[in-house]
């Protein structure tokens, strides 16, 4: 009811229902669920074959950390865990002895002791990290990282640390005393293999969580890692990009904002997205994901430097799921960002916009649930734009898919799709006025049969899904011509779905649902009763 | 309050006396405690008393209850008074919050104390802890969760299940917020914190207990198994809370462990425990139900991750349902289990139901047995008709087996409609044949058939598509329903009668008028059934029939149709209100209201009705109980008065004679619940009178001006309404005895608070609209002063719009120069400021037909009559004003109506405390202050054309310089529509 005017009194006023999102939705910065990227690329990576695995250190021999690369030839996987642990303890003791030894061949002795420990830490599916830590490996490994040590020693020590850091949270945290030295060795004076191995260890540490990320940032890990990412190719660049994506994950935005300000970083991102192979592009895309998720400043710069176009290009040409997921999410973040930027960029009718819609629709049609969900999320943010944006999606080939998906897809996809459809039906917000309703879209979507999908969402245990469902019901009740909305909602058992909230603990949902039932199906409804 | 022997004595005595059966010492003790509650460290002292082993258990228990309640009102930090507080007046001066140091001490004490307490005290303290966590957890209480985890581990080592379950119960209540709050970053941070700390220990204790159950289930004693099952149930509930927002990583990683145990509980029997008395089975079933809720959640939200487990769970639930007998103690399990299958049936995995014979079997072995009436239903039907109707007719049966079984059918029909329809039709025929074979013995089969048809109808009442595929409605009605309705004994097989009436009600639009009219006397007859459900359903059916409209909105049943039965119907309705437990039957009263709204009200009807209604009114005044009944009672009075007087104005005095004593009782005895109704009825009576208003109203007018009444928020809209009625009917009385200044004092008070400012404007607008300018002139400076002050202090959108409407009304009633001059008299040139900052920018936001017309006309007159705007120097203002008018006029009405600002909720639902509820039948029609102007657009262009003709060439230029191109176009179009060119 719109009783603002006070000349004459009307019926009492119920609390307003508001509108479907009607504005862009940023992602929650806090992750509770399993990171989907992790099923494809782990946040922490175990190192089985060293970065210098092939003689020149620049080759492609290193593992991609996925755990499923072919193991060392000399590896004996079936060894008893207890045996392995015992061996590890004694290897640490050996290493201590080797360090203490000052005589002839001391260096050789140290390296071979290190190599033995590294071998033990790399061979099993369940590396004996705990045993190594209990035996006191960390202080001794830190000692091995001291300045002036030969590369081989540094490499082996960093490798050991990498795999310790790939363990459980407490084990990763054990690396704390080693961090300053690891950071010291990723500087420009280090050899590439050493720097890369240290970056890998740091990446694992950063992957652990906010607390360790903050420590790494305050110890200055960002700048040297960023510089490692600047060259055109090589595994070092990839490892650095991966470590950086872990380091800037937030939820604090400081890392992201600082990274994009570093000279050459923006340029390198653009360059890699344009030219790099899919593997490197994947890592870079993850960097873009976190930059754009956390930092408005970075988002603006990325948009100004045509990153949207580059992402669209990648989406159009690649079929690698590993790559598509971060690229699509990055694109979504950019679209969800600053409204002005996206307004100027995503001009309806422009080539970029058509490209975006096209590739997003491609992902929406994919079989992969995560891609579908991400795609729907991107569309929901475009649909939150101007009337022209809404028309664009409305008249695109996405529409029939969306209508189908809102009733029949897995839950999280349905929820995202509901935001798209809802946003298509309300006009953009202007000032303090409430967004108006785009009746043409509403009528056609409801005619297409999407209402039942929304009502199912109202019945869901998920409060957000319920909210978007209720908001859509409100649009239907208010906006369908000739009061048809009432009948439709009733026919789809919408009243019953809303009545579930009569005593719900979420006040907002309760008021919304009760308000709608009272307003549209309260005493007055009977007065309009029509016969069949 | 210092903790010493004396305090202990004092508190013990008080709590002991609060348990006393005699009122005097009890009240004394309660008031001493209430006083003591304001002293510092009171909560702490009470908590210490709870911890004191030497004190009697029941005293400590009473103390624990008091402690919990004390925390409820005083733990939250004092919130700043909401700015609308003036109207809420007496509404609880907030109790002083507990100081922070005391809070810290309480937090340090409560966990160990709770864990070492007896079960009853433990549950009180656990609730108290939940109250604290609601505000403090986790950020202000970082020690809690680690503390609970440490205690859990300790208790787990010792297999101390009293403590384990206490801890789990507490965890369950502090995690409850994840169930209903929106997903925000803050909530997710809290969730993450809880998961990081609790997910692993939870799994650990769950698996540990599972192992204990496995080891002792067959050999152990029931008494030892009980706490174990309770513990698992709590773990399952915590599982739900932690998983409801999204699937946490830890739980995804440990699905095999969880699901393995879940499945075990659904498929294993625990004879030792299940046969140890009825509650042994309940305990196991509660665990199973909790498991069903968890797997339903996964099925709904995480179908991908869950799909590998689906087949096994579906068959487990299926065979479980086969076992769940009709005993009501297993209801919850049956319901949650059926819900799981329903979720599956509508999901992407619905193919599970495709195998040959599956649907048939579900229908036979799950749906029909659960839809059949059980003894519990019969008992409810007889013992608690209100609750029965709520479930049976009003959709509060979401959690009954009958309803949920039908939901399952509907779910399966989503993808297998034809099959379901065929099977259900056949089942219904079977049930009906069984009934026909032996009606007396098999009447429940018929009930079951009716229930199935009604529940599976594609739609409930009202819409075009009230239809069902499972039977032919007309023939079912004739062969199954009509015989029941025509049965001569209104008290026989009441549940079948109720079912038949319900069917009639729901399919009322489908049943032809001729048939309905034949059955109408039967409906009237059923009002005399002794059975509460039956006479309620008969009343409800009549009431709903009178609302049926045919295409084109014409009522299908008119006064002529019901007049043959009217007398006996009214008689039966009032008689029904004398049946035991139906004295305040809302269905009957609603029917009375509806009939009075339709019927031809002759004096012969009016007299007994008003007598009947006032006697009921006098009765309920003594103790208002059912707000719904009372609402319809007042509506009935209002509609009776209105319609009778419409026909015969002279009846007003007899109504006054009947109603005044009751209304006076309400006012004199301070029946506050009814004040808003009483004022609305009075307003209606005043409006129906021809001036002069009878002298006996004048005391009421005096009451109306007493500020006390206005302090109670819910009264305000009703008082405004009454005041408006007085002002319109007898403006002259107002000018006497300083009453006008009292009225304006009320306006002043109302307009200061955001929650009542709108009401304030109603008062002001009525004054401006109805009184001569000469009468109000002395007060105008005060009015402007009050409004401008308010504008300066707090400029809300709603206030601005109200102000704009008030200024417009002022202008059309008393002319532009009075408006402008009186404003500028308060402060020089303020009018221009208001024009620039308020009028022009906000005009486009005005909503409502009457309001838009008023503001457009007023703005037009300003354009054409105000010397200031006509001055060449003000041409930009002139242009912008016109631009705003055009913007307003080009917005579709629906749009502006949809706009809703921060409106006060003057009316919540009908509640037990006094709230303002609008009386529909006592309402006034909206009055248009500008009846002589038909169309504001026409008024605009004709006025502009006339003005422009005086100085040709001047205005087209201003228009092209200042109006938005779209608005220029729209204006041109308007000019041509009305053939009034602007030259």
pLDDT in tens, B759-818: 889 889 888 988 889 889 999 999 999 999 888 887 778 889 899 999 999 999 999 999
Looking at residue B906, its pLDDT comes to 27
What are the Cα distances from residue B222, in Å, to A192, A395, B217, B273, B405?
Answer: 68, 66, 8, 5, 33
Contact B192 A499 (CB under 8 A): no
Distance from first CA to last CA of chain B, Å, rounded? Answer: 86
pLDDT in tens, B684-731: 999 888 878 888 888 888 888 877 788 777 788 888 888 888 888 887
Looking at residue A2, its pLDDT comes to 35
In chain B, what residues touch A251 (CB-CB under 8 Å)? 185
Whether the per-residue pLDDT at B615 is higher than 90: the answer is: yes
List of residues 6+ apart from B363 with CB closer than 8 A: B409, B420, B423, B424, B427
Contact A4 B845 (CB under 8 A): yes
Looking at residue A4, its pLDDT comes to 33
Q: CA nearest A460 in B: which residue?
A: B300
Listed residue (A286, A252, A341) closest to A42, CA to CA: A286
Mean of the pLDDT values across residues B875-882? 93
Strand partners, B549: B555
Contact A5 B846 (CB under 8 A): yes
Contact A16 B900 (CB under 8 A): yes
Contact B848 A486 (CB under 8 A): no
Long-range Cβ pairs for the range A180-183 (8 Å, 24+): A180/A219, A181/A142, A181/A145, A181/A146, A182/A145, A182/A158, A183/A216, A183/A219, A183/A220, A183/A221, A183/A224
Rounded to a whole number of angstroms, the distance from the CA of A268 to the nearest CA of chain B is 32
In chain A, what residues touch B850 (CB-CB under 8 Å)? 5, 7-8
Contact B465 A8 (CB under 8 A): no
Looking at residue A429, its pLDDT comes to 63
CA B971/CA B206 separation, integer angstroms? 75
Rounded to a whole number of angstroms, the distance from the CA of B798 to the nearest CA of chain A is 6
pLDDT in tens, B32-77: 998 898 888 899 999 999 999 889 999 999 999 999 999 988 998 7
CA B185/CA B193 separation, integer angstroms? 12
**Cβ(A149)–Cβ(A163) below 8 Å:** no
Whether the per-residue pLDDT at B396 is higher than 70: the answer is: no
Rounded to a whole number of angstroms, the distance from the CA of A507 to the nearest CA of chain B is 9
Rounded to a whole number of angstroms, the distance from the CA of A246 to the nearest CA of chain B is 18
Contact B549 A528 (CB under 8 A): yes
Contact A461 B297 (CB under 8 A): yes
SS (H, E, C) A112-154: HHHHHHHHHHHHCCCCCHHHHHHCCHHHHHHHHCCCCCCHHHH
**Cβ(B733)–Cβ(B689) below 8 Å:** no
Contact A5 B459 (CB under 8 A): no
Contact A478 B898 (CB under 8 A): yes
Q: CA neighbours within 13 Å on the CB side: how many for A279?
A: 13
Residue with tokens 């950086």: A244
In chain B, what residues touch A501 (CB-CB under 8 Å)? none
Q: Residue A3: which of B458, B462, B903 has the nearest Cβ? A: B903
In chain A, what residues touch B179 (CB-CB under 8 Å)? 461, 505
Contact B802 A5 (CB under 8 A): yes
List of residues 6+ apart from B39 with CB closer than 8 A: B1
Looking at residue A3, its pLDDT comes to 33
Q: CA nearest A369 in B: which residue?
A: B304
Q: Residue A32: which of B246, B346, B903 has the nearest Cβ? A: B246
In chain A, what residues touch B248 (CB-CB under 8 Å)? 32-34
Residue of A1, A2, A3, A4 best to disrupt the B interface, most CBs of B under 10 A = A4
Sorting pLDDT into bands at 50, 70 and 90, what band is B323?
confident
In chain B, what residues touch A531 (CB-CB under 8 Å)? 509, 548-551, 556
Give Cα B596 distance to the centre of its chain: 27
Q: CA nearest A409 in B: which residue?
A: B348
CA B852/CA B843 separation, integer angstroms? 9
Dmax of chain B from CA atoms? Answer: 108
Looking at residue B438, its pLDDT comes to 95
Whether the per-residue pLDDT at B915 is higher than 70: the answer is: no
Q: CA nearest A519 in B: which residue?
A: B909
Rounded to a whole number of angstroms, the distance from the CA of B474 to the nearest CA of chain A is 14
Helices B757-770 and B715-729: crossing angle in degrees, nearest 10, is: 0
Q: Is the peptide bond before A516 cis (omega within 30 degrees of 0)?
A: no
pTM here is: 0.71
Size of interface A-B (CB pairs under 8 A): 225
Whether the per-residue pLDDT at B826 is higher than 80: the answer is: yes
Burial class of B336 by CB neighbour count within 10 A (0 to 12, 13 to 18, 19+): buried
Q: Residue B899: which of A32, A434, A461 has the nearest Cβ? A: A434
Q: Is the peptide bond before A342 cis (omega within 30 degrees of 0)?
A: no
Rounded to a whole number of angstroms, the distance from the CA of B346 to the nearest CA of chain A is 9
Q: Give φ, ψ of A426 to 5 degrees.
A: -120, 145
Whether the per-residue pLDDT at B942 is higher than 90: the answer is: yes
Contact B301 A1 (CB under 8 A): no
In chain B, what residues touch A168 (CB-CB under 8 Å)? none
Q: CA nearest B180 in A: which residue?
A: A506
Q: Residue B181: which of A506, A518, A531 has the nearest Cβ? A: A506
Looking at residue B672, its pLDDT comes to 85
Rounded to a whole number of angstroms, the distance from the CA of A102 to the nearest CA of chain B is 46
Looking at residue B10, its pLDDT comes to 92
Mean of the pLDDT values across residues B330-354? 89
Residue with tokens 């208002």: B624
Contact A499 B395 (CB under 8 A): yes
Looking at residue A60, its pLDDT comes to 39
pLDDT per residue, tens digit, chain A (532 aa), is: 333 332 222 222 233 344 554 555 666 666 666 655 444 455 667 777 766 543 333 333 333 434 333 444 444 445 577 888 888 888 888 888 888 888 788 888 888 888 888 888 888 777 888 888 888 888 988 988 888 888 888 888 999 899 888 888 888 888 889 898 899 898 888 888 899 999 999 998 998 888 889 999 998 899 999 999 998 878 889 899 999 998 998 778 888 899 999 999 999 999 999 988 888 999 999 999 889 888 888 888 888 888 888 998 898 888 888 888 889 888 888 887 766 666 666 777 777 788 888 888 888 888 888 888 889 988 888 888 778 888 888 988 889 999 999 988 888 899 999 999 998 888 776 555 556 788 889 899 998 889 989 999 998 888 889 999 999 999 898 888 887 888 888 888 888 888 888 888 888 888 888 888 888 886 544 444 433 3
Contact B247 A408 (CB under 8 A): no
In chain B, what residues touch A33 (CB-CB under 8 Å)? 246-249, 252
Q: CA nearest B803 in A: which residue?
A: A6
Rounded to a whole number of angstroms, the distance from the CA of A483 to the nearest CA of chain B is 11
Sorting pLDDT into bands at 50, 70 and 90, what band is B902?
very low
Contact B509 A504 (CB under 8 A): no
Contact B805 A5 (CB under 8 A): yes
pLDDT in tens, B647-676: 888 889 999 999 999 999 998 888 888 998
CA A424/CA A402 separation, integer angstroms? 11
Listed residue (A8, A65, A12, A17) closest to A434, CA to CA: A17
Rounded to a whole number of angstroms, the distance from the CA of B757 to the nearest CA of chain A is 9
Q: CA nearest A28 in B: which residue?
A: B185
Percentage of chain B surpassing pLDDT 70?
A: 93
Whether the per-residue pLDDT at B897 is higher than 60: the answer is: no
Contact A7 B847 (CB under 8 A): no
Considering chain B, what is the average pLDDT of its residues? 87
Q: CA nearest A453 in B: which residue?
A: B346
Q: CA nearest B187 in A: which residue?
A: A30
Q: CA nearest A411 in B: which residue?
A: B301
Rounded to a whole number of angstroms, the distance from the CA of B802 to the nearest CA of chain A is 5
Distance from first CA to last CA of chain A, Å, rounded? Answer: 28
Length of chain A: 532
In chain B, what residues touch A464 (CB-CB under 8 Å)? 182-183
């Amino acid at each position: 009811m719109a009783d603002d005017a006070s000349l004459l009194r009307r019926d009492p006023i119920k609390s307003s229902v508001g509108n479907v999102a009607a504005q862009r939705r940023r992602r929650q910065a806090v992750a509770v669920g399993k990171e989907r990227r992790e099923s494809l690329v782990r946040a922490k990576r175990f190192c089985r074959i060293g970065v210098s695995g092939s003689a020149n250190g620049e080759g492609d021999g290193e593992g991609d950390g996925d755990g499923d690369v072919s193991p060392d030839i000399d590896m004996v996987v079936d060894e008893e865990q207890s045996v392995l642990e015992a061996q590890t303890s004694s290897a640490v003791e050996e290493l201590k002895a080797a360090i203490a030894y000052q005589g002839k061949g001391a260096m050789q002795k140290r390296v071979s002791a290190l190599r033995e420990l590294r071998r033990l830490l790399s061979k099993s599916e369940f590396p004996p990290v705990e045993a190594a830590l209990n035996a006191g490996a960390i202080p001794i490994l830190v000692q091995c990282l001291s300045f002036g040590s030969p590369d081989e020693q540094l490499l082996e020590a960093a490798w050991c640390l990498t795999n310790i850091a790939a363990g459980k949270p407490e084990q990763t945290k054990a690396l704390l005393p080693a961090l300053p030295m690891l950071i010291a060795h990723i500087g420009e004076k280090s050899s590439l293999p050493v720097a890369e191995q240290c970056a890998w260890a740091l990446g694992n540490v950063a992957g652990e969580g906010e607390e360790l990320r903050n420590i790494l940032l305050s110890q200055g890990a960002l700048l040297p890692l960023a510089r490692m990412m600047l060259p055109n190719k090589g595994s070092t660049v990839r490892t650095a990009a991966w470590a950086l994506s872990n380091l800037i994950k937030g939820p604090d935005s400081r890392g992201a904002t600082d990274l994009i300000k570093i000279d050459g970083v923006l340029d390198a991102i653009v360059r890699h997205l344009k030219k790099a192979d899919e593997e490197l592009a994947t890592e870079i895309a993850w960097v873009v994901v976190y930059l754009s998720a956390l930092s408005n400043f970075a988002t603006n710069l990325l948009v100004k430097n045509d990153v949207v176009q580059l992402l669209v290009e990648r989406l159009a040409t690649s079929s690698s799921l590993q790559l598509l997921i971060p690229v699509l999410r990055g694109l979504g973040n950019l679209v969800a960002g600053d409204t002005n930027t996206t307004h100027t960029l995503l001009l309806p009718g422009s080539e970029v916009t058509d490209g975006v819609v096209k590739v997003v629709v491609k992902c929406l049609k994919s079989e992969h649930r995560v891609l579908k969900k991400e795609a729907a999320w991107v569309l929901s943010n475009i649909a939150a734009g101007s009337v022209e944006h809404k028309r664009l999606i409305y008249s695109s080939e996405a529409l029939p898919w969306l209508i189908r998906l809102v009733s029949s897809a897995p839950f999280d996809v349905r929820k995202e799709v509901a935001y798209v459809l809802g946003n298509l039906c309300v006009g953009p917000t202007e000032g303090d006025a409430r967004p108006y309703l785009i009746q043409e879209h509403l009528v056609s979507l409801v005619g297409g049969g999407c209402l039942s999908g929304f009502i199912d969402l109202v019945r869901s245990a998920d409060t957000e899904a319920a909210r978007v469902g209720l908001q859509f019901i409100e649009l239907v009740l208010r906006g369908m011509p000739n009061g048809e909305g009432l009948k439709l909602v009733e026919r789809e058992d919408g009243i019953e779905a809303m009545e579930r909230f009569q005593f719900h603990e979420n006040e907002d949902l309760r008021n919304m649902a009760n308000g709608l039932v009272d307003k549209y199906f309260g005493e007055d409804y009977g007065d309009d009763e029509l016969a069949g | 309050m210092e903790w010493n022997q004396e305090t202990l004595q004092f508190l013990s005595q008080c709590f002991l006396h609060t348990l006393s059966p005699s009122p005097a010492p009890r009240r004394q003790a309660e008031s001493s405690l209430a006083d003591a509650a304001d002293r510092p460290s009171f909560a702490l002292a009470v908590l210490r008393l709870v911890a004191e082993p030497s004190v009697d258990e029941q005293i400590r228990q009473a103390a624990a209850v008091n402690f919990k309640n004390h925390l409820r009102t005083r733990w939250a930090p004092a919130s700043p008074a909401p700015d609308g507080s003036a109207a809420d007046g007496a509404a609880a001066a907030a109790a002083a919050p507990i100081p922070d140091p005391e809070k810290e001490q309480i937090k340090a004490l409560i966990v160990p104390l709770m864990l070492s307490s007896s079960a009853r005290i433990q549950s009180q303290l656990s609730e108290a802890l939940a109250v604290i966590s609601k505000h403090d957890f986790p950020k202000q209480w970082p020690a809690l969760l680690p503390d609970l985890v440490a205690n859990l581990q300790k208790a787990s080592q010792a297999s101390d299940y009293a403590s384990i379950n206490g801890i789990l119960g507490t965890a369950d209540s502090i995690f409850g917020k994840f169930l209903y709050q929106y997903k925000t970053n803050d909530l997710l941070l809290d969730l993450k914190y809880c998961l990081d700390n609790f997910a692993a220990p939870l799994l650990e204790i769950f698996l540990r207990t599972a192992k204990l159950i496995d080891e002792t289930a067959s050999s152990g004693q029931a008494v030892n198994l009980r706490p174990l099952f309770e513990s698992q149930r709590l773990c399952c509930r915590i599982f739900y809370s932690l998983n409801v927002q999204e699937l946490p990583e830890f739980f995804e990683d440990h699905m095999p462990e969880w699901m393995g145990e879940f499945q075990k509980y659904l498929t294993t029997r625990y004879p030792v425990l299940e046969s140890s008395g009825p509650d042994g089975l309940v305990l196991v079933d509660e665990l199973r139900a909790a498991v069903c809720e968890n797997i339903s959640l996964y099925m709904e939200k995480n179908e991908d991750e869950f799909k590998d487990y689906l087949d096994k769970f579906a068959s487990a639930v299926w065979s479980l349902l086969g076992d769940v007998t009709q005993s009501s103690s297993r209801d919850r399990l049956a319901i949650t289990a059926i819900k799981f299958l329903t979720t599956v049936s509508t999901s992407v995995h619905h193919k599970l139901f495709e195998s040959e014979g599956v649907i048939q079997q579900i229908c036979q072995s799950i749906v029909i047995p659960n839809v059949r009436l059980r003894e519990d239903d019969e008992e409810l039907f007889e013992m608690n008709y209100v609750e029965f109707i709520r479930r049976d007719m009003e959709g509060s049966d979401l959690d009954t087996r009958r309803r949920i079984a039908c939901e399952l059918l509907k779910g399966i029909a989503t993808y297998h409609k034809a099959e379901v329809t065929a099977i259900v039709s056949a089942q219904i025929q079977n049930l009906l044949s069984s009934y026909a074979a032996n009606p007396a013995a098999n009447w429940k089969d018929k009930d079951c058939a009716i229930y199935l048809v009604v529940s599976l109808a594609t739609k409930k009442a009202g819409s075009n598509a009230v239809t069902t595929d499972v039977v032919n409605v007309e023939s079912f009605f004739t062969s199954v329903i009509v015989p029941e309705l025509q049965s001569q004994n209104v008290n026989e097989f009441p549940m079948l009668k109720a079912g038949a009436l319900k069917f009639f009600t729901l399919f009322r639009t489908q049943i032809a008028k001729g048939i309905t009219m034949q059955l109408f006397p039967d409906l009237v007859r059923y009002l005399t059934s002794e059975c509460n459900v039956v006479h309620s359903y008969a009343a409800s059916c009549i009431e709903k029939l009178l609302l049926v409209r045919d295409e084109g909105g014409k009522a299908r049943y008119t006064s002529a149709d019901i007049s043959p039965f009217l007398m006996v119907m009214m008689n039966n309705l009032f008689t029904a209100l004398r049946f035991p437990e139906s004295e305040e039957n809302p269905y009957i009263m609603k029917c009375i209201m509806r009939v009075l709204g339709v019927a031809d009200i002759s004096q012969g009807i009016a007299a007994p009705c008003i007598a009947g209604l006032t006697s009921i009114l006098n009765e309920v005044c003594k103790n208002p109980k059912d707000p719904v009944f009372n609402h319809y009672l007042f509506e009935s009075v209002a509609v009776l008065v209105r319609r009778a007087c419409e026909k015969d104005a002279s009846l007003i005095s007899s109504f006054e004679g009947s109603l005044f004593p009751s209304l006076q009782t309400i006012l004199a005895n301070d029946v506050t619940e009814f004040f808003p109704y009483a004022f609305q009825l009075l307003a209606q009576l005043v409006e129906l009178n021809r001036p002069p208003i009878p002298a006996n109203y004048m005391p009421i007018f005096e009451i109306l001006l007493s500020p006390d009444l206005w302090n109670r928020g819910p009264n305000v809209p009703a008082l405004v309404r009454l005041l408006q009625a007085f002002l319109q009917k007898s403006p002259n009385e107002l000018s006497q005895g300083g009453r006008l200044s009292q009225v304006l004092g009320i306006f002043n008070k109302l307009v200061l608070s955001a929650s009542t400012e709108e009401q304030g404007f109603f008062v002001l607008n009525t004054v401006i609209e109805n009184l001569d300018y000469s009468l109000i002139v002395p007060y105008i400076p005060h009015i402007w002063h009050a409004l401008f002050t308010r504008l300066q202090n707090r400029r809300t959108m709603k206030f601005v719009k109200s102000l704009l409407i008030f200024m417009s009304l002022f202008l059309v009633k008393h002319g532009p120069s009075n408006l402008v001059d009186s404003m500028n008299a308060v402060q020089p040139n303020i009018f221009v400021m208001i024009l620039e900052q308020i009028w022009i920018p906000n005009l486009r936001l005005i909503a409502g037909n009457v309001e838009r017309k008023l503001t457009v006309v007023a703005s037009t007159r300003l354009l054409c009559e105000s010397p200031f705007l006509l001055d060449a120097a003000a041409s930009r203002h002139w242009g912008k004003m016109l631009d705003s008018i055009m913007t307003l006029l080009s917005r579709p009405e629906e749009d502006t109506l949809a706009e809703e600002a921060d409106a006060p909720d003057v009316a919540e639902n009908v509640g037990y405390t006094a709230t303002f509820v609008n009386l529909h039948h006592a309402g006034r029609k909206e009055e248009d202050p500008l009846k002589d102007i038909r169309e504001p657009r026409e008024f605009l262009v004709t006025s502009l054309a006339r003005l422009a003709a005086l100085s040709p060439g001047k205005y087209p230029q201003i228009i092209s310089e200042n109006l938005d191109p779209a608005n220029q176009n729209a204006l041109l179009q308007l000019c041509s529509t009305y053939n009034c060119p602007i030259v």
